[in-house]
Amino acid sequence: LASKFKPHIALVDIGLPGMDGYEAARELRKRPETKDVTLIAMTGWGQEEDRRKSKEAGFEKHLVKPVDPAALEAVLAEVRASVR
């Protein structure tokens, strides 16, 4: 799906059925057409180990659910500013 639409940002849940978010991030990073997508993990898993695994998989940000709307807005603004 990301290969077809080529998003600038992808919000990805870590606890996905089948392929988890870590695996999805690694797959996106391997593909030339999606390697530069900004990946933001949105998950209920917020321990330091979870954050480390997110970073290793290729996520730029790790937000813990329930995500504060202001925090999400700040992250998206930061990403938009860096894309310009």
Q: State the CATH number of the domain containing residue 61.
A: 3.40.50.2300
12 close to 24: Cβ distance less than 8 angstroms:
yes
Give me the pLDDT at residue 17, please.
86
Centroid of chain to Cα 4: 18
**DSSP line for 9-50:** EEEEESS-SSS-HHHHHHHHHHSTTTTT-EEEEEES--SHHH
Helix (H) or strand (E) run with residue 63 in it:
strand 61-64
Tokens encoding 65: 């659910």
Domain limits at 31? 2-83
Q: What is the pLDDT tens value at each position of the chain, 84 positions in all? A: 555 677 889 999 999 888 999 999 999 999 999 999 999 999 999 999 999 999 999 999 999 999 999 999 999 999 888 876
Q: How many domains does the chain have?
A: 1
- pTM here? 0.87
